[in-house]
Structure formats: structure tokens, C-alpha cells
């Protein structure tokens, strides 16, 4: 589809030709009126747990110590029997929600691989859900313990099935990416981190992990008498090719170590702040030249996949860290910052020659009246804002706020029916 988006509040037209942003429109481009709107790159959610879309507001998980939260979530995964059917249904809901909120690429740190369930089938269910929705997906083969040799074998099987970027029917080229990543030093030791580092380097895969959340700091101190980032550095996971999520409450010395290491960071305030688990000094990291992305984390702690809302929250709480973020910085984190951490610099931008992943945000209502800085207004005005239109690779997936690739109500009712059928009696 060749289109020309014209009349935007920023005064800049956007041309899309054969799925790519171009400097000039094609002769047959269809003009799309975006008067009263702001056009941005599609948002990139650098850290999600799509399976948790099936476990929002789970009783006992709000405002508790992270150690207790992990126990409750783990029991829920067992009670509701995680398998390809449930993983696919949860992913369909989470990805549809993402697109409706302007997120065109999602990194899914999948950590639950039950015994007796084929891992390729489980991963394929999520990959197919993304392809059907029209979203891009980075599937992270995560771990929470287990045998390193078996996990490496699983990574190889997934790589054979999907490749690095693209590859592997039934997913369209360029829509699927594979990465690896332990949950953190609170679940895995040196042997697992070493094994996954070696297989990632061999296969050319990016690595992603989590560090300095509440339980991570506690268990690292109890088991090793160390801080999480010290262990990651010692185990070869504080180097280029790695993205570290959360980084709550890091010290000045740790900020220096992160900056010098070349790792990327993902800020997840929508999870960490309301749960009381800490806050990352995103501004200080940016000031040191660290590439910082933005993630929602999962429905078990955030309950929403609304990345723009979390960008707003990131700005609001940044003053507590001593370095206030600007709206432009937060939007950059939610687009190009996240894309950099995924090794996909062609995403999160509207530069000519890049894939046409974009959002059209209607800013013509009373909630936006009086706004003087339109990019800043995207965050500060109209909390909970959703895009009018969303495009991925030159194809509309949302128009006038409606999902085009599936029936939203059917996705929601399908997941709820599945959960109802698997519910266990109250203990």
C-alpha cells in the first residue's frame, strides 16, 4: 500500500511506498488526512511477558514483596496448566492490546517452559499469534533454573525453527526474532549464564536478562554476598549484545560500570514503581551515553501493555531519581531506544528507507486544547491515549481505533473461556 500522510500538526508529511518510509510519495500514493494528528514511529516494547496477560490482578499479587509475588505467579502457571493453547491465547490478547496502544514490536521474555510440553510448539503458538495480529515479535527464550545443557538444546531447536530475524514459516520475513535470557541471578547461576552466552555468540543471538529488582538484590546478597551487576560482569553478561531490564536502585559506581560495558538497558516503571520494587535512574543512564529502552513488563505486575502510558509515568517519576526526563527522551526510549536494544536500528524511526511502522495520534479533542508542544503533549495531555491508526510494514493493522486483524471481543472472550475451563477450586 502506497500512502501519503498529510496535514499533521508537526507540519511534516510522511510517505510510505511498498512498505517503506520514503522521502517522496509514489505517484499512486493514497492521501490520508492526518489533520489534528501527530505521526510517530511505531512504539517498541522492549520488555513484556505476554503469558502474564492471562494473569492480571491475580489475588495476592498487588504490592507484595517480589519473593511472594513469584511464588503466587508460579502456582498460577501450574494451576492453569501452561501449554501452547494458553500461551497462544494470552499472546493474542497481549499483542492485540499492544497494537491498539501503538506498540508495533514486542520483546516477549518468556520464562515458563513446563515439563512435558514441546518447547517449539509453545514458542510457535506465540510467534503465530504475533504474525496473525500483524505485530513484530522478539521471542526471548528465558530461563528460571533448569539444566543448562537442556536449555542450550532448546535454543538450538528454536533457532532451527525460526532463525535469527525472519525465517521459519508461518511467520512473515522480518517479523520474528529470537534471543536468549535467564530471568536473573536470583534464578540462575554461573553455569546457565555461561552456557547461554556461548550458544548466543555461536548463533548470533542477542541476550537479555533482568537485574536489580528487589528479589534479585536479596538473593544475590544471600547466595553470593555480591550485587547482581557484579555477578553479571563476572559471568560475561555485562558486555555489548546484552540488554538488562529494570536496574532498580543502582549505585553511581554501577551506573559507571553499565556505561563502560556497552550493554543496553530497559526501564520498566509501570511494573517496578507501583509494586514498590524500586526505580531505575533512567536519566542518569542516558547522561552517561547508555542506550535506554522502555518496557511494560507483564500483566502479572503492570496489568497493561500500554507503553505510551508508561512513558508518561517514566517522566513523572523521574524527578524522584534526581534527573528529570523530558518527554522527548521518554518517547525516544519507547521507540529508537528500545529498537537499539533489540539490534533493530531500522525500527523506532521514520527515516527514509526504514520499515513503515507508524502511529497516527488524534490530538484534536478538548483534552489536547491549549497544548503548545505537540510531542510533549502526547505524554502530558490525555492520559491513556490510544492511537487512531497503526501501520506495520506499510499495512494498516488499526484504523479509527479498531483492530483490523482480529475481532477484539473474540480474543478477549476466548482467553477468558479458556481460563474459566481450567480454573481450580479456591484453596
Nine-digit cell string for 377: 503533549
Same domain for 327 and 385: no
SS3 396: strand
pLDDT along the chain (427 residues), means of 10: 96 97 98 98 98 97 92 96 98 98 98 96 95 96 98 96 58 84 97 98 96 94 97 98 96 97 98 93 98 97 97 97 97 98 97 98 97 94 96 98 98 98 75
DSSP 144: S
- Do 337 and 358 sit in the same domain of this protein? no
Phi-psi region of 394 (alpha: psi -120 to 50; beta: other; left: phi over 0): left
Reading the block at residue 215, the C-alpha cell is 528479589
Q: Are residues 21 and 168 in the same domain?
A: no
Residues 244 and 229: their CA atoms lie apart, in Å, by 10
Cβ–Cβ < 8 Å for 137, 178 = no
pLDDT tens digit sequence for 212-260: 999 999 999 999 999 999 999 999 999 999 999 999 999 999 999 999 9
Both 56 and 191 in one domain: the answer is yes
pTM of the model as a whole? 0.97
Grid cell, residue 118, equals 514441546
The CATH number for 399's domain is 2.30.40.10
304 and 392, same domain (yes or no): no
DSSP calls for 229-295? HHHHHHTT-SSTTEEEEE-TT--HHHHHHHHHHT-EEEE-HHHHHHHTS----HHHHHHTT--EEE-
Question: Are residue 86 and residue 129 in the same domain, yes or no?
Answer: yes
Residues 318 and 283 sit within 8 Å (Cβ to Cβ): yes
Q: What is the pLDDT of residues 171-199, one digit of tens each?
A: 677 789 999 999 999 999 999 999 999 99
User: Is 314 in the same domain as 392?
Assistant: no
Is 147 among the domain residues? Answer: yes
Within-domain flag for 204: yes
Number of domains forming the structure of the chain: 2
- Partnered with residue 292 across adjacent β-strands are 265
- The answer to whether residue 413 sits within a structural domain is no
Q: What CATH number should be reported for the domain holding residue 231?
A: 3.20.20.140
**Range of the structural domain that residue 323 is part of:** 43-341
How confident is the model at residue 424, as a pLDDT? 76
* Domain assignment of residue 346, yes or no: no
Amino acid at each position: 500500500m502506497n500512502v501519503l500522510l498529510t496535514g499533521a500538526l508537526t507540519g511534516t508529511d510522511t510517505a510510505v511506498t511498498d512498505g517503506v518510509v520514503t522521502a517522496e510519495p509514489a505517484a499512486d500514493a493514497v492521501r490520508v488526512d492526518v489533520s489534528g494528528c501527530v505521526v510517530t514511529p511505531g512504539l517498541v516494547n522492549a520488555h513484556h511477558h505476554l503469558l502474564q496477560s492471562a494473569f492480571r490482578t491475580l489475588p495476592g499479587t498487588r504490592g507484595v514483596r517480589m519473593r511472594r509475588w513469584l511464588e503466587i505467579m508460579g502456582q498460577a502457571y501450574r494451576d492453569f496448566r501452561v501449554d501452547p493453547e494458553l500461551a497462544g491465547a494470552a499472546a493474542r490478547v497481549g499483542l492485540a492490546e499492544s497494537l491498539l496502544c501503538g506498540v508495533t514490536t514486542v520483546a516477549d521474555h518468556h520464562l515458563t517452559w513446563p515439563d512435558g510440553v514441546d518447547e517449539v510448539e509453545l514458542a510457535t503458538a506465540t510467534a503465530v499469534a504475533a504474525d496473525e495480529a500483524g505485530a513484530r515479535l522478539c521471542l526471548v527464550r528465558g530461563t528460571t533454573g533448569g539444566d543448562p545443557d537442556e536449555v542450550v538444546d532448546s535454543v538450538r531447536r528454536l533457532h532451527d525453527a525460526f532463525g535469527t530475524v525472519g525465517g521459519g514459516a508461518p511467520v512473515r520475513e522480518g517479523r520474528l526474532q529470537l534471543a536468549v535470557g535467564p530471568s536473573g541471578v536470583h534464578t540462575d547461576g554461573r553455569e546457565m549464564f555461561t552456557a547461554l552466552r556461548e550458544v548466543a555468540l555461536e548463533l548470533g543471538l542477542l541476550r537479555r536478562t533482568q537485574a536489580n529488582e528487589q528479589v534479585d538484590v536479596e538473593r544475590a546478597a544471600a547466595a553470593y554476598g555480591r550485587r547482581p551487576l557484579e555477578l553479571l560482569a563476572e559471568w560475561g553478561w555485562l558486555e555489548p549484545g546484552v540488554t538488562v531490564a529494570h536496574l532498580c536502585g543502582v549505585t553511581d559506581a554501577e551506573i559507571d560500570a553499565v556505561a563502560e560495558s556497552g550493554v543496553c538497558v530497559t526501564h520498566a516503571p509501570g511494573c517496578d514503581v507501583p509494586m514498590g520494587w524500586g526505580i531505575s535512574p533512567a536519566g542518569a543512564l542516558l547522561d552517561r551515553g547508555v542506550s535506554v529502552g522502555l518496557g511494560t513488563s507483564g500483566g502479572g505486575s503492570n496489568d497493561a501493555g500500554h507503553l505510551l502510558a508508561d512513558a508518561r509515568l517514566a517522566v513523572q517519576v523521574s524527578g524522584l531519581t534526581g534527573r528529570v526526563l523530558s518527554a522527548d527522551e521518554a518517547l525516544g526510549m519507547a521507540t529508537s531506544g528500545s529498537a537499539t536494544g533489540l539490534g533493530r536500528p531500522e525500527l523506532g524511526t521514520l527515516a527514509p528507507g526504514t520499515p513503515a511502522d507508524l502511529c497516527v495520534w488524534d490530538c484534536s479533542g478538548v483534552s489536547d486544547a491549549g497544548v503548545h508542544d505537540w510531542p510533549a503533549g502526547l505524554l502530558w495531555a490525555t492520559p491513556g491515549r490510544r492511537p487512531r491508526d497503526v501501520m506495520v510494514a506499510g499495512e494498516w493493522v488499526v484504523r479509527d481505533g479498531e483492530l483490523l486483524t482480529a475481532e477484539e471481543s473474540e480474543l478477549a472472550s476466548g482467553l477468558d473461556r479458556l481460563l474459566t475451563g481450567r480454573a481450580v477450586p479456591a484453596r
